């Protein structure tokens, strides 16, 4: 049976990009359905009635939601180019850190982006503390997945795309290359990968988007 794969995502979401990269790594063809989160399609609401958010992978008509769940589904379904490590302990570590990335690291950087003054300083300090845990994971490795890009690289992909943009917009520094030599090197390696580059959201549009996202929070304080 011919596989029918559709990805509902936005042009910018790093969570949507996780799915795109995973499908590309597996060598799978798919159709992209670009969503406008301010005007969600009936299809998105039908496929993800619980969270009403992208990404959704639709495989032969059946929807799968939540990007990390989708990555596991892709890896469980197509065995070529494994994304997750093979050993149960390494697998558990990858899952643990991916969860940590979504629950702690990403929100801590976002909080720093939308705050100001003393509060922002505290948020930056928290974010840096979280990033130090991530730095440790790269010791002796090119990618989080080892020699090649794996599940955890895709889960942390947003770091390569978004951190320097956040730094520019809010005039803050998360990643001092002397404190974070391994993440800095990883960002270069990851974003230079042809497959990753192909779908990289344009920097100017990302700056515009994150600046607009930040705006209401600044007004609230002013």
Give the residue with the Cβ less far from a copy of itself, 107 or 120.
107
CA 176 to CA 183: how far, in whole Å? 10
How is the chain split among helix, strand and coil, in percent rounded to 5? 60, 10, 30
Sole residue written with tokens 């509060």: 119
If binding is defined by CB under 8 A, does position 125 make contact with a copy of itself? Answer: no
- 143 part of the interface to a copy of itself, by CB under 8 A: no
Q: Per CB under 8 A, does 3 bind a copy of itself? A: no
Provide the 3-class DSSP secondary structure of residue 64: strand
Verify binding: residue 89, a copy of itself, rule CB under 8 A. Answer: yes
Does 62 help bind a copy of itself (rule: CB under 8 A)? yes
Contact call for residue 204 and a copy of itself (CB under 8 A) = no
Asked if residue 1 binds a copy of itself (CB under 8 A), the reply is: no
Distance CA 194, CA 190 (A): 9
Which residues between 31 and 50 bind a copy of itself (CB under 8 A)? 50
Structure tokens that stand for 28 in this block: 């799978």
**Closer residue to a copy of itself in complex, CB, 40/59:** 59
Q: Which two tokens stand for residue 121?
A: 């300083």
Distance of CA 105 to the CA centre of its chain: 11
- In the complex, the residues that contact a copy of itself under the rule CB under 8 A are 50, 59, 62, 64-66, 69-70, 72-73, 76-77, 88-89, 91-92, 95-96, 99-100, 133
């Amino acid at each position: 049976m011919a596989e029918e794969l559709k990805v509902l995502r936005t042009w910018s979401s790093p969570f949507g990009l996780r799915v795109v990269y995973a499908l590309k790594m597996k060598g799978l063809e798919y159709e992209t359905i670009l969503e406008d989160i301010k005007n969600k399609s009936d299809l998105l609401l039908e496929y993800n009635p619980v969270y009403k958010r992208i990404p959704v992978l639709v495989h032969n008509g059946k929807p799968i939601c939540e990007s990390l769940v989708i990555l596991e589904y892709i890896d469980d379904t197509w065995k070529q180019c494994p994304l997750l490590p093979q050993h149960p302990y390494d697998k558990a570590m990858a899952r643990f850190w991916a969860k940590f990335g979504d629950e702690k690291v990403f929100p801590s950087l976002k909080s720093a982006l939308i705050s100001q003054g003393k509060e922002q300083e505290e948020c930056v300090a928290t974010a840096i503390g979280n990033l130090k845990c991530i730095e440790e994971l790269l010791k002796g490795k090119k990618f989080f997945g080892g020699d090649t890009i794996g599940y955890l690289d895709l889960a942390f992909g947003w770091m390569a795309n978004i951190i320097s943009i956040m730094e520019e917009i809010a005039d803050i520094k998360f990643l001092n290359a002397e404190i974070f030599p391994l993440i800095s090197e990883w960002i270069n390696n990851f974003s230079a990968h042809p497959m990753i580059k192909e779908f990289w959201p344009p920097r100017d549009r990302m700056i515009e988007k994150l600046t607009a996202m930040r705006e209401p929070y600044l007004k609230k304080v002013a």
